Amino acid sequence: MEEALVRALETAVQLVAGGSHYAMFVLVRALPCVNKSLAATARLDARFPYILAYVNAVVLPPSQFFFAGIPRQVQLFSGNVPAATAANLPQSLAGLSYRSVLQDRQEQALLIHNKAEKRVAALAATNTPNDLPAGVPLRVGIYIARLRAVAQGVRAAKNVAEFPECEHRGCRQRFLRADANVIGSDDLGGLRATPEPSVDYWRLLSGMKAEAPPARRFCSPECCAQFTAELNTAVPKLTGKVLNAEPDPGLKLSSSSRVCKGLRAAAQRNEDFARKLRSVQRPRLRACSSTAYKEKLAAMVRMLNLDFLMLYSSSILAESKALSQGLVLAGEKSGWRHRPRFYAASIKNVKKLLDAYHRDQGTVLHNLLLSSRLLAKVKENAIAIYR
């Protein structure tokens, strides 16, 4: 069976060399992921990474990551570039946008794919890098030459600050930073998804801007996914109803009751989060940095504590109709976190108290029975927080 798979891999490479039957290569390229023998064969085949880069450009949809579909063994910012290829580049490389660079890759891959065998042979004679492994198909060699020529030309023409290192600690290769209007990844490294209605509220607690700019932190979707997955495993992730803890919206409750139940729900959420932190050993980080881990953990603890204190101060006032008259209290309405503009000033006041009186910033607040100077100060200043 293993011998047959190895033959299938070699056959797929031969078909790529002939300019056809990419569907078979797309199938065969996934087999090394599930077969150790075939994985060893693929790793020993120096042609494989270059063929992958070419076939991925032909068959995969466009990506917003600079090294999407390009294996790490394929060097773009170094390596030989034939003079004929370099002479055929766009005039102004300094003005070439990020989108244009990615578009050029796909267009060139399709152009090479559609050329006749005789034309490919003629181009390969003067447009093939001299440092590629023996046996790399002609079409692949022409494509790699174009990739290198554009990458090296753009790097020479643009400012060095536009080529940051990938934040995946196992990668660290440099890549071209995307334009501001190109969505590459979210600030925490994940692909953008539909935000929760309460996202602006939690950003307000964390100190982030209302619209987080897409960060150019990763060179490929693989680095992005590995970084995000590891970070989400290291720091327990809270989303949806678990994060936005509150009573059932369908329950008919008075404002006072809803605030108190909301406080208990937030306390339970914080206690569960603190328990998870205690039960999990410090992770061994391979993709994300210790700094990223510490920053996310600190930001998560701070957000949960501020949310808890918002509800605690609100519960103090909700007990009295006279004190709560005319005030917009946290937790008195269902889905109150969806309207953060009503609580911006109160959040600012609570932040001041947290920073002034919370001794251990890494402690998750959840127990109202413990003697705490912070809770005493929040209770004492409850009216000032909401006025």
What number is the average pLDDT over the span 50-69? Answer: 85
pLDDT at 26 (0 to 100): 58
Give me the pLDDT at residue 187, please: 39
Residue 10, domain member (yes or no): no
Among the candidates 158, 180, 200, a domain finishes at 158
3-state secondary structure of 142: helix
Is 210's pLDDT higher than 50? no
CA distance 257 to 42: 64
pLDDT value at 356 more than 90: yes
Domain identity same for 100 and 227? no
User: Are residue 233 and residue 379 in the same domain, yes or no?
Assistant: yes
Summary mean pLDDT of the chain: 84
Q: Which residue has the higher pLDDT, 322 or 75?
A: 75
Q: Given 3-state DSSP classes, what are the helix, strand and coil percentages for the chain, each rounded to the nearest 5?
A: 55, 0, 45
Cβ contact 53:70 at 8 Å: yes
pLDDT at 212: 45
Return the closest-CA partner of residue 66 out of 193, 222, 187. Answer: 222
How many helices (DSSP H) and strands (DSSP E) are in the chain? 17, 0
pLDDT at 49: 87
Please name the amino acid found at residue 33.
C
| Number of independent structural domains in the chain | 2
What single-letter DSSP state applies at residue 338? G
- The tokens describing 37, both together, are 């023998």
* pLDDT value of residue 190: 44
In the block, residue with structure tokens 């090294």: 67
More confident of the two residues 129 and 251: 129
pLDDT at 189 over 50: no
pLDDT at 22: 56
Measured distance CA(313)–CA(309) in Å, rounded: 6
At residue 191, the pLDDT reads 45
Q: What pLDDT digit, counting tens, does each position of 242-286 carry?
A: 999 999 887 888 888 999 999 999 999 999 999 988 887 777 888
Compute the average pLDDT of residues 170-190. Answer: 69
pLDDT tier at 55 (50, 70, 90 boundaries)?
A: confident
Among the candidates 117, 132, 158, a domain finishes at 158
Indicate whether 141 belongs to any domain.
yes
Is 310 a domain residue?
yes
Which of 158, 173, 202 represents a domain boundary (last residue)? 158
Domain for residue 186, yes or no?
no
d(CA 3, CA 17): 21
Which neighbouring-strand residues pair with 165? 174
Does this model's pTM top 0.85? My answer is no
The confidence band for 329, taking pLDDT boundaries of 50, 70 and 90, is very high
- Confidence category of residue 44, pLDDT binned at 50, 70, 90: confident
Q: Are residues 222 and 153 in the same domain?
A: no
Six-digit token string for 375: 């809770």
pLDDT of residue 283: 75
Q: Which residue has the higher pLDDT, 176 or 283?
A: 176
Return the residue matching tokens 């409750």: 253
Helix (H, G, I), strand (E, B) or coil at 13: helix
What is the Cα–Cα distance from 210 to 203, expressed in whole angstroms? Answer: 6
Q: How many whole angstroms separate alpha carbon 277 and alpha carbon 296?
A: 13
* 361 pLDDT higher than 50: yes
One domain for residues 233 and 364: yes
pLDDT of residue 174: 92
Return phi, psi of residue 165, to 5°: -85, 145
Residue found under tokens 């009216």: 383
Structural domain that includes position 248? 218-386
Predicted confidence at residue 201, as pLDDT, reads 93
- 3-state SS record for 171-232: CCCECCCCCCCCCCCCCCCCCCCCCCCCHHHHHHHHCCCCCCCCCCCCCCHHHHHHHHHHHH
